[in-house]
Amino acid sequence: MQNQHLIDFLNQQIANISVLHVKLQRYHWYAKGPYGYVIEQYTEDLHEQLDDIKKCLGKRVLSIGGRPIAVMSKFLQEATIKEAQADDEDYEVVKTMRHDYSQLAQEIKITGIPLAKRQEDDATAGLLVDILGRLEYEAIRLSKYLIDADR
């Protein structure tokens, strides 16, 4: 299949989003520290956003002739995002989330968009540009928190 590399990349991003989704659930449940409640509310919003991104990626994989991965073992196998390791203190949670969002944005910017453009797949490139914007925005918000926390 001519676009198999693109399908593989999109599936990797589905895996990353799925792992990040589980991490956010953990942070939502267990965040502690002075900003634990804020993190609880923020992660709820991020959950909805990640659900939307994952659905869009899955539909795109289907539309270009692939099969989106949809089992946890494949998510863990394909993801470049690591499972939660933070000690659940608010600062560590935010630092980890910023790293993950920045990593996903970089992967899309450096690998995904150029790959879609080489395949002359404007729809996938456009989707990835949209997702990139969302991820970069959240990374900036998380960076601002870390600066404001003055640690």
pTM of the model: 0.91
**CA–CA distance, 112 with 13 (Å, rounded to integer):** 9
pLDDT (0 to 100) of residue 69: 97
CATH number of the domain bearing residue 13: 1.20.1260.10
Give every CB contact of residue 32 below 8 A, 6+ residues apart in sequence.
Answer: 88, 89, 90
pLDDT (0 to 100) of residue 43: 84
pLDDT (0 to 100) of residue 149: 60
Q: Do 24 and 49 meet the contact criterion of CB atoms below 8 Å apart? A: no
Q: Do 132 and 109 meet the contact criterion of CB atoms below 8 Å apart? A: yes
3-state secondary structure of 32: strand
**CA–CA distance, 8 with 69 (Å, rounded to integer):** 10
As averages over each run of 10 residues, the pLDDT of the chain (151 residues) reads 90 97 86 76 88 97 96 95 77 86 97 97 98 95 73 48
Split into its structural domains, the chain has a count of 1
**CA–CA distance, 25 with 130 (Å, rounded to integer):** 24
In a domain, 126, yes or no: yes
Cα→Cα distances 43→4, 29, 77, 93, Å: 33, 10, 24, 10
In a domain, 81, yes or no: no
State which residues form the domain around 50: 4-76+86-149
pLDDT (0 to 100) of residue 143: 84
